[in-house]
Structure formats: C-alpha cells, structure tokens
Structure 1
Amino acid sequence: MVDWNDSDLETIATAEELDLASERADGTLRDLVTMWVVRAGDRLYVRSVKGRGGPWYRGTQSRHQGRVEAGGVRQDVTFHQADPDEYAGVDAAYREKYGQYTSIVEHVLTDRARASTLRLEPR
C-alpha cells in the first residue's frame, strides 16, 4: 500500500466533492463522475449510492485503477475494496462531513452502499 502525502490527503479530504475516472480495459479513462469523498484515519474512501450495481462502481472493477481530482489535486489511484471492519469509520466520516444533507447522506449509509466502499490509494 502506498500512503498519501499529508498535503494531498488533507486537500482531497476537505474538498466538497471528488471527480473520479476509472480506467477501461484498454487503459483509457472513462468520463469523470462527481461524488462525495471522505477520510477515515489516513485513508480516503468513496461509495456508490447504487451499490455494486452502480455504473461508475462497475467501471472501477475492470482494472481497479483510475484518476481522481479534488481541490486542485489530480492523482492516479488504485481502487481497493474496503474490508467490512472499515465500514463503521467510513459511515462516521460521511455523517460528520455531509450530515447537513440529512436526506441524502442516508443513501450512502445503506448496506447496499457499504458493500461498494472503495479505498483510494495513490499510485
């Protein structure tokens, strides 16, 4: 596992949204998708409201890598499926960061969304 440098970790973690482009099987990038991103400990996470069936999530599964952009930081990343023991910390991070969007944040706290939790690691 490669760690984020402190500056990029903080910048991405505090950005309101993140743009994510996964790589196709041929190595080209898909279109950017805008989503929420959270920090739990020294790791960054994203989730699909539609769970593992969500189009952008499915796109991450062909090569498990892509690119993210947030707060002026652009970084190539690897997508790692989070372990279930990471879910509680990610849930808490979503509640803390996006809690003001009560009716929306609940959608990323469902079992379906939890199953799509991806940890972003720089490469």
Structure 2
Amino acid sequence: MTQWHSAELEKIGAAEELDLESERSGGMLRDPVTMWVVRAGDHLYVRSVKGTTGPWYRGTQSRHQGRIDAGGVRQEITFHEADKGEYADVDAAYRTKYGRYTSIVEHVLTDQARASTLRLEPR
C-alpha cells in the first residue's frame, strides 16, 4: 500500500471539495463528481449521501480505482471500504470541517452514508 506524502494530505485535506473520477470496467474514467473530502489521521475519506446505492459510489465498485483532483493535487487512487472502526473519526472530521453547513453535514453522518465510507489511497 502506497502512503500519502504529508504535503498531499495537507492540500487535499484542506480543499473544500474534491473531484473524483472512477474507472469503468474497460479502464475509461467516468465524468468527475464534485464532493466533500475529509482527512482523519493520515487517511482521506469520501462518503455518498445516498449510501451504497448512490450512482458515483456504485461506479467506484467496478474497478476500485480512479483519479482525484483537489487542492492542486491530481492523483491516481484506489478506493478501499473503510472499517466500521474508522467511522467515528470520519464523522468527527466531517463535523469539524463542514459543521458550518449544519443542515447539510448531517446527511453524511447517517448510517446509510457511513456504509459508503471509502478510504482513498494513492497508487
């Protein structure tokens, strides 16, 4: 497993939004989806408000890889399902980073959204 460089973690973790492109089964990238990204420790995470039935989340499941662009960093990545033990730290990161959007942030803190938590790892 490749680790993030500290400068990449800082830039992506500080970015307000992230553009995510998942790979289709044939290797082509899907159109980018703009979403929130959080950093918890030395890891980066995204979630689907619609949970595992969300279209972009389902798109990550065909090859479990893609590309992100955030904070001036463009990186090929792999998608890893987060362990339930990571959810509390990810929840806290969402509350800290996006808490000013009170009516919106609660949507990424539901059990449905938690089930779609993906850890982004560089490749």
Does the alignment reach a TM-score above 0.5? Answer: yes
User: 2:5 is matched with which residue?
Assistant: 5
User: Equivalents in 1 of 2:49, 2:64: separation in Å?
Assistant: 19
Q: 5 Å matches for 1:64-75?
A: 64-75=64-75
Shift of 1:10: 0.5
Q: Which residue of 1 aligns with 2:117?
A: 117
Give ranges in structure 1 of 5+ residues lacking alignment: none
Count of equivalent residues: 123
| Aligned match of 1:19 | 19
Q: 1:73 is aligned with what amino acid? A: V
- Give, in whole Å, the separation in 1 of the partners of 2:19 and 2:91: 20
C-alpha displacement of 1:92:
0.1
C-alpha RMSD of the superposition: 0.3
Q: 1:45 and 2:45 equivalent?
A: yes
Residue 29 (structure 1) aligned with residue 43 (structure 2): no
- The residue identity in structure 1 corresponding to 2:59 is G
* Amino acid paired to 2:72: G
Q: What TM-score, normalized by structure 1, do the two folds share?
A: 0.99
Any gaps of 5 or more consecutive residues in structure 2? Answer: none
Output the CA distance in 1 between the equivalents of 2:10 and 2:76.
16
Q: CA deviation at 1:72?
A: 1.0
Structure 2 residue 91 is matched with structure 1 residue 91: yes
Identity over aligned pairs, percent: 77
Partner SS state of residue 94, structure 2: helix
Shift of 1:42: 0.3
Amino acid aligned to 2:18: L
1:73-99 CA-to-partner distances (Å, cap 9, x unmatched) read: 100000000000000000000000000
Q: Which runs of 4+ in 1 moved over 4 A?
A: none
Deviation, 1:71, is 1.2
Counterpart of 1:101 in structure 2 is 101
Find the aligned partners of 1:2 and 1:82 in 2 and give their Cα distance.
16
Q: 1:60, CA displacement in angstroms?
A: 0.1
